[in-house]
Chain A
Amino acid sequence: MARMQRRTVADLGFDETIKNLSPDKIARTIRYVLEKEAAARLKAYVDTCIHCGLCNEACHFYVSYDRDPSYAPVAKVRQTIWDMIEKKGKVDPETVKTYARIGFTECNICRRCSMYCPFGIDIGYMMILVRRICGLLKVAPSYLQDQGYSHMYTYSQSWVAQDDWVDTVQFVEEELRMNIKNARIPLDKEGAEIMYSPHSLEAKFKTNLLANIAKIMNVARVDWTMPSFDGWDSTNQSMHLGDHETMGMVERMHFSAGFRLKVKKIVTSECGHSFRAAVYDGSRSLGWKEPPITYLQPTQLFFEFVRDGRIRIARKIEEPVTVQDPCSIVRNRGLGGMLRSVVKAACEDFREVDPCLEHNYCCAAGSGVINYGPPWKFLRMEGGRAKIRQLQATGAKIVIAPCHSCHKTIEEMIDYYKADMHVMFISELLVKTMEIPEDMRTPEGKGSDQ
């Protein structure tokens, strides 16, 4: 049997944490998750899989790593779940590290493979179980673990202090007034139509993105707000860590904020995982069949704005443009059509990507992989080869990627592969192309680009 060949990566979250594991604890944890928490789906999947290997083409890692069989989706199940079941959980810490490496770093839980399995087996679900087991044993990439801890205390992924958040919002509002006359970012406005819920990066290093959103909200004259209190941040790395408890606390906090502010809709940031956490994993883990408050990704909101004429495009982008279909919003919620609709409204030359929509390749950074830090960057660069080749084939110069992970990793891949293109969020695209109404223009900004 072929053994998987992998380069050695030093990560304290793997190397140090396994030292504290006793065989008994490992076995107890594996059996708890596989026997107590998992039920029909795991059993049906394991008993049904006929090991045909037809899921292989689905995986961007498999494709990007020159069809290395050890990266095929079923191969990942073989090396984790099947192994645990066969050994009844009696494995050594080193094996847990292998499980963790596969579960955390070689699967983005993009769920493309369940579209390629003849039975429709949800391999992503099994990888979530692997992450759950390793997460309970605290064996996880240290960067991800750190963010999981941040959620436990701050309900945000980047240790944002409560005052930092409010201060940032007020600062962004002041800056925004350079461009938009009397622009407002109302905090805690009860009864607003929309609660915008940013990515924590927008409160720390990427405040320009928050400014872009605020600009669009003001121009579209939307009744919107954000909570000043915890629950404002839409991110949920605990989901990636298999820490369902903290994931649930974060999502409950998040929806409670929406109920407290009496909003009709919550709009997350241009982010894939936070959308998935809110509408899918988080809501379901708390007992909601659908998110209890209408939950939109900006792609949907911007689509409505453009469709309803609340945002008018002043001048279209002329360079060729293509899109990245983020798995969490397209395969997971079918927003690919709206994404194209907005992009086509703002761009002259749209180039379709192949394969596209739900068949699109994952960017190799999803499900937390983007956050694993420098030691794991190679994984995204190499694992994303299928992605960058696919984008390059369109001949586009701009890639619209409405997801923080996709955006960042494609930007880095462009550098890595020396591709002649750059990435934009939809909000950036709209801010560049939308018309600023006469009454909002300022002498400084003159209503032009920020």
Chain B
Amino acid sequence: MYEFLTSMELYTFLKGPMVWVAFSVFLSGSVYRVISLLKLARKDRVVYPYLNVKYSLRSLVHWLVPFGSRNMRLHPWVTVFAFAFHLGVIVTPILLYPHIALWHDAWGIRWWSLPEKIADFMTIVVLVCCAFFLLRRVFASEVRFVTFPSDYAIIAIVAAPFLTGFLAFHQVVDHYRLMVILHMAFGEVMLMAIPFTRLHHMFSFWLIRAHTGSEFGVFRHSRDY
């Protein structure tokens, strides 16, 4: 087992074909989920007729700016952790130098990367946030009441690539290639999980907010933040 996990074949597979697979699943799965939801919304007759760009943006802005909504102000710690977490989760992998190097090797494209120390810091922030979310699930009764095993799984899916990436980069663990392999594997799992788990909220967030924001603005003449 250990030999397999550290084998060059697995490494090559995860670095090559599996990346294609993961991105394909992520992209096509996400597109499929979004399109099927948009189609289904037609059956829900009351969604499209009320959609409104101004109020969709109003809603999105208030929920994308830290403390822009009343509930964020009521939960300052959650707000800080949630924003730090989402920033880290999205920005770090995209602007990480080793990732950009891979893109450059394969496609010849490159872009600005985060300084190493900042990238490191953001990774730690993501992991700390994951720990925070985990502890919240365990100790906050209102969250525990609605927590299912899948909720822990989702935290694990997100935390794993960051943890293994951090360990691999700093070569904390003896076997460097094992960590890289685990990192790639977990990263690919996370990508593929997005369309098929509640991580899908990275897309549905925009759609639901647009609907709710429009409802409140156009019809209810109230604020949803």
Do A's and B's CB atoms come within 8 Å in the complex? Answer: yes
A-B contact pairs, 6 of them (CB 8 A): A43-B37, A51-B198, A75-B145, A115-B71, A333-B222, A334-B220
A448 interface residue, CB < 8 Å from B? no
A36 to chain B, nearest CB (A): 10
A289 and B70 in contact, given A48-B201, A53-B146, A78-B145 (Cβ under 8 angstroms): no
B204 part of interface (Cβ distance < 8 Å): yes
User: A154 to B59, alpha carbons, bound, how many Å?
Assistant: 42
- Residues on the A chain within 8 Å of B146, using CB: 51, 53, 69, 72, 74-75, 78
CB of A392 closer than 8 Å to a CB of B: no
| B32-58 at interface with A (beta carbon < 8 Å) | 37-38, 40-44, 46-47, 49-50
**Does B207 belong to the interface (CB within 8 Å)?**
yes
| Known contacts A69-B141, A359-B70: A50-B46 contact under CB 8 Å | no
A39-B40, A40-B40, A47-B198 known; A358 vs B222 contact (CB < 8 Å) = yes
Q: Using a CB–CB distance below 8 Å, which chain A residues touch chain B?
A: 1-2, 38-41, 43-45, 47-54, 56-58, 62, 67, 69-70, 72, 74-75, 78, 114-116, 118-122, 280, 284, 289, 330-335, 355, 357-359
Interface residues of B in 101-149 (CB under 8 A from A): 136, 140-148
Which stretch (B9-17, B18-26, B175-183, B209-217) binds chain A?
A: B209-217
The answer to whether B147 touches A121, judged by C-beta atoms less than 8 angstroms apart, is: no
Asked if B221 and A334 sit within 8 Å, CB to CB, the answer is yes
B208 & A120 in contact (Cβ 8 Å cutoff) = yes
Are the CB atoms of B44 and A39 closer together than 8 Å? yes
**Min C-beta distance of A108 to chain B, whole Å:** 16
Interface centre among B38, B145, B208 (most CB of A within 10 A): B145
Our count of residue pairs bridging A and B at CB distance below 8 angstroms stands at 141
B interface residues, tally (CB under 8 Å):
52
- List the B side residues contacting A48 at CB < 8 Å: 198, 200-201, 204-205, 208
Select A72's contact among B82, B145, B221, beta carbons within 8 Å. Answer: B145
Given A1-B145, A47-B204, A115-B225, answer yes or no on A332-B220 (Cβ-Cβ < 8 Å): yes
**How far, in whole Å, are A195 and B65 apart by their CA atoms in the complex?**
45
Across the interface, A57 reaches (CB within 8 A) one of B74, B144, B154, namely B74
> For the complex, would chain B's binding face be called helix, strand, loop or mixed by DSSP majority?
helix
Q: Is the CB of B47 within 8 A of A120?
A: no
B198 in complex: contacting residue of A2, A49, A284, CB < 8 Å:
A49
Kindly list chain A residues whose C-beta atoms are within 8 Å of the C-beta of B219: 280, 333
Using Cβ atoms and an 8 Å threshold, which residues of chain A touch B204? 44, 47-48, 119
Indicate whether B78 reaches chain A with its CB closer than 8 angstroms: yes
Bound state CA distance, A38 and B41, in angstroms? 10
Quick one: closest A residue to B206, CB to CB?
A119
Measured CA separation A40–B43 after assembly (Å): 7
13 more A-B residue pairs beyond the given contacts A40-B40, A284-B46, with a C-beta to C-beta distance below 8 A: A40-B38, A50-B151, A52-B143, A53-B142, A70-B145, A74-B146, A115-B71, A115-B225, A118-B82, A120-B213, A333-B222, A357-B222, A358-B223
Q: Judging by beta carbons under 8 Å apart, are A331 and B222 in contact?
A: yes
Task: Determine the chain A residues whose CB is within 8 A of the CB of B208 once the complex forms.
Answer: 44-45, 48, 119-121
Query: Is B224 a contact of A115 with CB atoms below 8 Å?
Result: yes
Residue in A70, A121, A333 whose CB lies within 8 Å of B220:
A333
A417 and B81 alpha carbons, distance in the complex (Å): 40
Known A-B contacts A43-B37, A48-B200; A330 and B222 likewise in contact (beta carbons under 8 Å): yes
Instruction: Give chain B residues whose Cβ lies under 8 Å from the Cβ of A78.
Output: 145-146
Using a CB–CB cutoff of 8 Å, the interface residues on chain B facing chain A are 37-38, 40-44, 46-47, 49-50, 59, 63, 69-71, 74-75, 78, 82, 136, 140-148, 151, 154, 198, 200-201, 204-205, 207-209, 211-213, 215-216, 219-225
Tell me the complex Cα distance, A44–B208, Å: 7
Q: Is the CB of B71 within 8 A of A41?
A: no
Residue among A54, A58, A74 with most chain B CB within 10 A = A54
Report Cα–Cα, A355/B69, bound state, in Å: 14
In contact, B209 and A53 (Cβ under 8 angstroms): no
Whether B223 pairs with A41 at a CB distance below 8 angstroms is no
Query: Which 10 residue pairs are nearest across A and B when measured between Cβ atoms?
Result: A334-B221, A120-B212, A40-B41, A69-B145, A40-B40, A39-B43, A53-B143, A69-B142, A358-B222, A39-B44
Q: Which of A331, A335, A355 has the most CB of B within 10 A?
A: A331
Are A51 and B224 in contact, CB atoms less than 8 angstroms apart? Answer: no
A284-B47 Cα distance, complex, nearest whole Å: 11
Contact A53 B198 (CB under 8 A): no
Return the contact of A120 from the options B44, B59, B141 (Cβ within 8 A).
B59
Contact yes or no, A118 B71, CB < 8 A: yes
The answer to whether A75 and B142 have CB atoms under 8 Å apart is: yes
| Closest CB in chain B relative to A98 CB, distance in Å | 15
Closest Cβ of chain A: how far from B214's Cβ, in Å? 10
With A2-B145, A54-B78, A358-B223 as known contacts, state yes or no: A40 contacts B140, CB within 8 Å.
no
Q: A43-B40, A48-B205 are in contact. Are A120 and B211 (CB under 8 A)?
A: yes
- The residue from A69, A284, A331, A355 contacting B144, defined by CB atoms under 8 A apart: A69
CB-CB < 8 A to B42: which residues of A? 40
Closest Cβ of chain A to B168, distance in Å, is 28
Question: When chains A and B are docked, how far (Å) is the Cα of A57 from the Cα of B73?
Answer: 12
Residues of B within 8 A of A116 (CB): 69-71
